[in-house]
Amino acid sequence: MQYQFIEDEISLQQLCQQYNNAEILAIDTEFVRTRTLYPKLGLLQIFDGKQLALIDPIAINDLSPFWQLLTNENIVKVLHACSEDLEVFLTSANCKPVNLIDSQIIMSFLGHGLSMGYAAMVEHFTGIELDKSESRTDWMKRPLTQKQLDYASADVDYLFQLYPKFIAEIEQAGRLDYAKQETQLLIERKFTPIDEDNLYSQMKMVYRLNSKQLNILQHLARWRFQQAKKRDLPIGFVAKDHTLMAIAQHNPQNIEAMNQLKGAELLDIRHKGKSMLSIVKIASQTSESDYPTKITRLDEYPGYKQIFKSVKAFIIAIAEKNGMTIENFASKKQINQFLTWHFNVNDVRTLASESSTKTPISNVDILTGWRNELFGQTLQAFADNDFKA
């Protein structure tokens, strides 16, 4: 397939004026994310069925014509496995796309599993095996090789060609609206701001800590994330989880004590020890009434295992009745999310307390959108009748 390589703003503007009249755009991104918190955009690919273009974001300072295409509600944008692409759009331009559909999600509703790769989809429809040897290449290095450019162009060439086929199949199956809702759910998650005050609760073994220790961990996790953002580093490059956990658990008062901590990374202490000590001291000034509530695992709720099995079996039966698998209907995380709500728990990791309030239904996947229409309400009635919170 012939393609146009765009590396100046005038050419980009002209190209995007042409694309503004398109009904469908196949889009992909290439990026590098090895030693940074945020993905570094290396190439944009776009195809409207007439003109395939590769846009060089390193050579072009103002990509606003492209971002405007993403927010044009009159154009369908199709991407495959768009989760990381959404991160690129968010971190590069805070651009939240509209009228976007993910072909990987479509394929999942057609019975191909939740994570069918692009090459596997192409082979499924065409029998062609794509060369994926450039998937781990350095997209920031210039000049790009001919092999890189050919690889990148194929990512949107076949995607556009296959679009009518998988759309026809999912429309026939009556699940296009499901795929659209699931894509939108993914977009909303990606564009929901990170709650820095709650990062600590996502760490492993956090339930082992008491409220005082959790207060220290909360301060450390927030500090680490802010450092990662400021320096554009992976979070683990600032300090490892087990280092923060060890410090929170033992509350060291000096560097020497830090160096004696079992489980703490010595390099973390050497490079960030003083900073972490200062955070521990700030945390010590927190009033006890403001400490986080001790976390109890959901699986410690009385009868949890049997309840989980009952809910899963209930959902499997409904999924099979609708010709789908439970993977499409509800993951383990989504079932636990529902049980958290049902048990009147603040979040998936915390059991109910006297001060707890129910998680909003809008945050429970099973009780919103197509899932709620198909089985959410009946599941709720089943749960109310068969087990009590």
Residues belonging to the active site = 28, 30, 85, 151, 155
DSSP string, 10-47: HHHHHHHHHHTT-SEEEEEEEEE-SS-SS-EEEEEEEE
User: Phi and psi (nearest 5°) for 183?
Assistant: -65, -45
- Please state, in angstroms and rounded to a whole number, the distance separating the CA atoms of residues 211 and 256: 25
Amino acid at 92: S
Length of the chain: 389
CA angle at residue 258 from 257 to 262, to 5 degrees? 100
130 token code pair: 């794509």
Q: How far apart are the first and last CA of the chain?
A: 59
Amino acid at 348: V
- Please state, in angstroms and rounded to a whole number, the distance separating the CA atoms of residues 237 and 61: 29
Calculate the alpha carbon distances from 386 to 14, 195, 375, 389 in Å: 62, 35, 16, 10
237 token code pair: 């490059």
CB 243 within 8 A of CB 264: yes
- Please state, in angstroms and rounded to a whole number, the distance separating the CA atoms of residues 41 and 29: 7
- Please state, in angstroms and rounded to a whole number, the distance separating the CA atoms of residues 267 and 216: 20
CB 126 within 8 A of CB 115: no
User: Phi and psi (nearest 5°) for 235?
Assistant: -55, -40
CB 116 within 8 A of CB 335: no
- Please state, in angstroms and rounded to a whole number, the distance separating the CA atoms of residues 239 and 251: 16
Tell me if the bond preceding 143 is cis, omega within 30° of 0: yes
